[in-house]
Amino acid sequence: MRSSHESSPPIRKILIAGGGFMTPFIRYMAQLTGKTRPRICYLPTAMGDHPDAKLNFYGYCAPLNVEPFVQDVFIESLTQTRGWDEVLLSADAIVVSGGNTLNQQAIWRAQGIDLVLREAWERGIVLGGASAGSLCWFEEGTTDSRPKTLSVVKCLGFLPGSHSPHYDAEPGRRPLYHELVKTGYLKPGYACDNEAGLYFEGTTLKRAVAAKEGARCYYVQAIDGEVVEQVLEPERIS
């Protein structure tokens, strides 16, 4: 039995979107921190630390009562004087950019950032993002990170199963995801339209949300050799 002076373990929180992790999602993420003015870190690894991505993030944060900051990974030790743990664990929330998921995963593992992100999650720092920033938290999913065709990428595995972002925005996403889940090449999982997303506590889905009318999320699985796509009707956020 837990004694009265022991605190409960932090709630592990992940908020994702299929695409478009803009002001409504960052506002919701800020609320999930429980802080009055949360520090929100942007991790644009999948975008190669592109300056336009960073400017967009600051623009999305501008209407909000948050303290935004960016952590590049293309760094050198003369100017990057704090470790990944010192930076990322100082945040109340971490937004991961879209971009190339395969490259993102390789860089994170080479740098040990994957381990720091797991510690952040276990400490209750809210994690999230869209596209590569949503896919990265699952075991696996569909990606455009390689030449010529959509393919499969293995990711961090904080959330069980698979994921397909951009479900309504890119024509090849839905049929490929159906085929991969049907054949068992991918585990069952979640698909999200752009500007629709999912909030998890631990590994349990708590709610679906959307910042756009008509945007939806889905749970996709194979039953008796056929794909079953369950619509997860979202609550609107703004």
pLDDT tens, 31-52?
999 999 999 999 999 999 999 9
Weakly modelled stretches of the chain, pLDDT under 50 = 1, 4
Per-residue pLDDT at 171: 86
For residue range 181-216, what is the model confidence (pLDDT) as tens digits?
999 999 999 999 999 999 999 999 999 999 999 999
CATH number assigned to the domain with residue range 13-236, chosen from the 4 options 3.40.50.880, 3.40.50.300, 3.10.580.10, 3.20.20.70: 3.40.50.880
Distance CA 96, CA 118 (A): 14
pLDDT at 151: 84
Residues with catalytic function: 131, 166
Q: Spell 89-111 as b/e; 16+ CB within 10 A means b.
A: bebbbbbbbbbbbbebbebbeee
Give the pLDDT score at 170: 86
> How many angstroms separate the Cα of 108 from the Cα of each of 90, 103, 105, 119?
18, 9, 5, 14
pLDDT at residue number 3: 52
Q: How far apart are CA 49 and CA 45, in angstroms?
A: 6
